[in-house]
Amino acid sequence: MFTFTVRRLLFAVPTLLAISFIIFALLDLAPSDPLSDLPLTIPPEVREQIRLAMGLDQPFIIRYFKWLQQFFINEPLNIFEQITGITVGSGERMRVLSWATRSPVVDLIVQRLPQTLWVVGLSYLFGVLIAIPIGVISAYRQYSWFDQIGTFVSMVGYSVPTFFTGVLLIVVFSSWLQWFPSIYDTTLVVNSWDSFILQVKQMFLPVLVLTLFNVSQISRFVRASMLDNLNMDYVRTARAKGVKEKIVLLVHVLRNSLIPVVTVIALGVPTIFSGAIITEQVFRVNGLGQLLITAIQGADIPLVQTLTFIFAILIVLFNLIADVLYGILDPRIRYE
Amino acid sequence: MNTRKLMLAASAAAFALTAAPAMAERGTDGDLKIIFWQAVSTMNPYLSGGTKEVYAASMVIEPLARYDETGALVPMLATEIPTVENGGVAEDLKSITWKLKPDLKWSDGSAVTAEDAIFTWKYCTAPDGGCAQGAYFEGVTNVEAVDASTIKVSFSEAKPYPYSAFVGAQSPIIQAAQFKDCLGAKAPECTSANFGPIGTGPFVVKEFKPNDVVTFEANSNYRDAAKPAFASVTLKGGGDAASAARSVLETGEFDYAWNMQVEPEILEQMMAAGKGKIEVAFGTQVERIDINPYGVDPSLGDKRSTKEAGPHPALSDPAVRRALSIAIDREIIDEAGYGPNGQPTCNILPAPDIYVSTAVDWCLTQDIEGANKLLEDAGWKMGSDGIREKDGVKLSFLYQTSTNSVRQGTQALVKDMWSQIGVSVELRNISASVFFGGDPASPDTFQKFMADIQMYTNNFDGTDPEKYMAGWMCDKIPSPATGWQGENIVRYCNPEYDALVKELGQTGELEKRAEIAKKLNDMLSNDVAQIPLIHRGQPSAVNNTLLGVKMNAWDSELWNVADWSRAK
């Protein structure tokens, strides 16, 4: 298992380098322009100066290697310095700078990460916690009214896009009932009971929208996996031995059914970090998803490049984790 | 009415009168909540140039003078507006001298001096800095301190309109002490200064979250002790225009929302909630249709849309251009897409009032019959498919614009109007980030204009149209030789026009300048260099409890935020 993990990690390095190059090339070939948001009153000569200051006059390959150096050497060194307080070399090195804000990309990401983890992470957690019981009951009582309703709700949750449910909830709960704010107050500091209530209130709608989506998705997996296992021979054997129905279901069947579900959940974790782009935009949650979409719209290429690359790292990493978990959970699988 | 009652009424009135100024105390009106659906990326307008950044920064850093809601210059940090009459502008128009108000303080308590202005000039003109407002310092050869509070700006040649450097929200004065290590290539590295510039304005940055939210608090060193009325400002960003409008007009969560590019009927519905209204300011924005005078046929290859491609087989015919213009019903386009935020126009120079020509209003009324006759007389005969043609050339065009629901609506209306005169158009829309991007490698930019017809809005900053009108000179035509840079996107070229622009550059008197500018405008409209459609306003949503908003199209919309207050 250990050698397998090490081998996979080593393989990840060339994979990620290739990914970073492809992202960089794609972004460079894309026709969007960082100056397109500027008023037309800014004359062409000035635009040229701005382009030069962004380093856009340099050849593609040089810009790519510069980014590599900034991302893989300068930024880790900077984090190391901040944590330990030790200055390496002169301490002055070029960091990955966003074109729109002209500030270090990593600082932006660090600033946005907590909101995404809270809102999207919480909805993922709720999604898992709600989906498993629903999936289990739906499968155990297949075609019962509970299963039918569950299927209907998850179909709705899965097929109706979040930009629709989000706006619908705003119209109902913010405009009509005025129970919840429609705009996430990102300056709120939770330091008292009242501010905590406010925080819960403003997180309610976005978390609800995303939880609905996650529940729909995961409960389907749980149900399908449970159904596969309920018809297995070992279940019949357990029942024939006189094992209680509760133990058959929750110990024998559920444990075996969760193996593929755990993989699905692990593979879904990177999506937490990439944020829920649409939901964050609708509720104005200042998370990573919103950061990414504004960066794409404004053609803030260093920011898009760095964010997508971090997501790529997470996806590669969680694929590995899913594989390893599989090996741990299922004794039949051994990697050598 | 007995005497006692009268006296009571009088004293009540007197009380009300004295109470009014007493209420105007700094920081008594709580938090002002503003929403910009495009979030602010930086607080340094010299590094961004985007409208949202310029507006946000205008609450903190100020220029020497700015434009009020009528477009007149008002002194901010300066004591008065220098003119030739008061001796502030040199007789030869080659320098201007500003005097700072006495005892001006930065928000950190230090004194504002002429050195700060000199530094600002150096900061924006430093090599490799990529200063977005470089145009404001164009032609400035030197900025010097006559004494600690007198600034002299010298120009390389006579400037009949010398109010550009340090005038308007785009060119504020920054603190030398704060930015001294941020010159040139080092500018983007000064993150904390760029996110929280020290200023002289009514508010100071408390916290800046890039692309999300800015919080401000009242500047305790602001020069007017009674202002601002609000203790703090929250400037939230992100989302889209419609939901920003909803947050002011329907839910009332915010006080002010900028740039309400939303269809008029949607805004009407929201205003029915009675919580706010839309305020519109008309500046110099004109939605226009450009007609390409050069050939754009794909077979021309690299020569497309350049002089080398030769004249356009149909659109170089003046009759066709004129017919296209008078076939359009601007009223309908205005009603459908703009409502109160637009007015039909035939002028490419729509404001300020003294520059507005009334000589070309022939295009304001739709004249399908006249257009058909024009085309008929010019030899464009109706074909069997309802499309006119002459010598094998059909009046069939590609009409492109940026992706935007109002523009696509306008495109559909124009297509229908033109079909009535035997002109067919193929519609195309291009993502705004590509269309306005100016990437020389992309064929879809509006500068390259590789289409027969295109539509967009342009305008100019401030109130002086000289630079804007110079944008139609022959040498400003974008071409591969200039890297497709240049303002003359309609590719208009007329030596008479060029000569008149040069004359404008040498004329100092305002009335004469206005006369020449009108003539230039009329030439463009009569030659149908392009088709002006709509004079666009800047709509913003204002909550009913917010007082003091004076919508301004000439400067930052937040220009008088120090005077805003909350209705009691």
For B440, nearest residue in chain A (alpha carbons): A31
Q: Is the pLDDT of residue B16 over 70?
A: no
Query: Closest Cα of chain A to B426: distance in Å?
Result: 22
Furthest C-alpha separation in chain B: 93
Q: Give the integer Cα–Cα distance in Å for B409 and B426.
A: 14
The DSSP secondary-structure symbol of B138 reads T
A126 and A63 within one domain: no
Amino acid letter, B515: E
Q: Which helix (H) or strand (E) holds B203?
A: strand B203-209
- Does the structure show a pLDDT above 80 at A90? no
Q: Give pLDDT, residue B7.
A: 47
**Do residues A70 and A170 share a domain?**
no
H helical segments located in B391-550: 405-419, 432-435, 466-469, 495-505, 510-526
Q: What are phi and psi of A34, to 5 degrees?
A: -65, -20
Give the rounded percent of residues in chain B with a pLDDT score beyond 70: 96
Res A282: pLDDT: 86
The answer to whether position B128 is within a domain reads: yes
Q: Give me the helices (H) in chain A, please.
A: 2-29, 44-53, 60-69, 75-84, 105-116, 122-140, 145-159, 162-169, 193-230, 233-240, 245-247, 254-273, 277-283, 288-297, 301-329
In a domain, B6, yes or no: no
Looking at residue A324, its pLDDT comes to 85
Determine contact, residues B429/B408, Cβ cutoff 8 Å: yes
Contact between chains at B131 and A49 (C-beta distance less than 8 A):
yes
Q: Are residues A77 and A112 in the same domain?
A: no
Nearest to A275 by CA among A54, A74, A116: A116
B340 and B431 part of one domain: yes
Name the pLDDT band for B21 (thresholds 50, 70, 90): very low
- Which residue range(s) make up the domain with A67? 1-84
Closest to B188 (Cβ–Cβ): which among A37, A102, A290? A102
Q: How many CB pairs under 8 A join A and B?
A: 182
The Cα A33–Cα A272 span in angstroms is: 29
**Which of A157 and A89 is assigned the larger pLDDT?**
A157
Q: Do both B316 and B305 map to the same domain?
A: yes
Which among B49, B194, B212 is the nearest to A42, CB-wise?
B49
Domain shared by A131 and A39, yes or no = no
End position of a domain, from candidates B128, B157, B188:
B188
Q: What pLDDT sits at residue A327?
A: 81
Boundary residue ending a domain (B188, B220, B242):
B188
The parent domain of residue B165 ranges over 62-188
Q: Which residues of B touch A299 (CB under 8 A)?
A: 433, 437
Whether residue B224 is found in the same domain as residue B171: no
Q: Are A108 and A287 in contact (CB under 8 A)?
A: no
Phi/psi zone of residue B539: left (φ > 0), alpha (ψ -120 to 50 degrees), beta? beta
Mean pLDDT of A49-60: 85
With contacts defined as CB-CB under 8 Å, which chain B residues touch A97? Answer: 188-189
Nearest chain B residue to A287 by CA: give it.
Answer: B212
| Res. B8: pLDDT tops 60 | no
What value does the mean pLDDT take over residues A63-69?
90
Q: Note the pLDDT of residue B508.
A: 81
Annotate B325-360 with DSSP letters as a single string: HHT--HHHHHHHHTGGGEEE-S-SS--SGGG---TT
Residues A113 and A15 in one domain: no
Helix (H, G, I), strand (E, B) or coil at A95: coil
ipTM over the 0.90 cut-off: no
Amino acid sitting at position B291:
I
Are residues A40 and A156 part of one domain? Answer: no
Tell me the residue type at A203. Answer: M
Q: How confident is the model at residue B363 (pLDDT cuts 50, 70, 90)?
A: confident
A154, A220 Cβ separation under 8 angstroms: yes
pLDDT of residue B195: 93
Are B117 and B54 found together in one domain?
A: no
- Pick the residue from chain A with its C-alpha nearest to B273: A175
Give the position of tokens 């000064």. B190
- Which of A81-95, B92-106, B369-383 is the least confident region? A81-95
pLDDT given at position B4 = 52
In angstroms, what separates the C-alpha of B135 from chain A's closest C-alpha? 7
Mean pLDDT of chain A: 87
Indicate which CATH number applies to the domain containing A327: 1.10.3720.10
* CATH code, domain with B432: 3.10.105.10
Q: How far, in Å, CA of B395 to CA of B383, rounded? A: 10
Contact at CB, B486 and A44, closer than 8 angstroms: yes
> What average pLDDT does range A93-101 have in this prediction?
84
Among residues B157, B188, B219, the one where a domain terminates is: B188
Residues A117 and A72 in one domain: no
Mean pLDDT for the stretch of residues B507-531:
92
Tell me, what CATH number does B50's domain have?
3.40.190.10
Rounded Cα gap, residues B381 and A62, in angstroms? 58
pLDDT for the residue numbered A91:
65
Per-residue pLDDT tens over the stretch A176-225: 888 888 888 888 888 889 999 999 998 999 999 999 989 998 999 999 99
Residue B133 to residue B123: CA distance in whole angstroms: 11
**B134: nearest CB among A35, A49, A97:** A49
CA B197 to chain CA centroid, nearest Å:
24
Cα–Cα distances in Å, from A165 out to A175, A275, A309?
Answer: 14, 17, 30
In a domain? residue B556: yes
Same domain, residue pair B270 and B292: no
Q: What is the pLDDT of residues B64-83, one digit of tens each?
A: 999 999 889 999 999 999 99
Instruction: Compare B227 and A2 and report the one with higher pLDDT.
Output: B227
The CATH number assigned to the domain holding B86 equals 3.90.76.10
Ranges A43-52, A245-254, B97-106, B528-537: which has the least confidence: A43-52
Smallest CA–CA distance from A54 into chain B, residue: B130
Q: Select from B76, B261, B235, B259 the least CA-distant residue to B169.
A: B76
Has residue B17 got a pLDDT over 70? Answer: no
Q: Has residue B421 been placed in a domain?
A: yes
The pair of structure tokens assigned to A322 is 């899913």
Instruction: Nearest by CB to B129, from A41, A53, A103: name it.
Output: A53
Residues A104-132, mean pLDDT to the nearest whole number: 90
Q: Looking only at Cα atoms, what is the longest distance across chain A?
A: 85
Alpha carbon distance B135, B464 (integer Å): 14
How many domains does chain B contain in total? 3
The 10 Å Cβ neighbour count of residue B104 is 18
Question: How many domains is chain A partitioned into structurally?
Answer: 2
Q: Supply the pLDDT for residue B260.
A: 87
What is the number of other CB atoms lying within 10 angstroms of the CB of residue B16? 9
Q: Average model confidence (pLDDT) for chain B? A: 90
In a domain, A8, yes or no: yes
Nearest to B209 among A38, A182, A286 (CB): A286
Is there a domain that residue A91 lies in? no
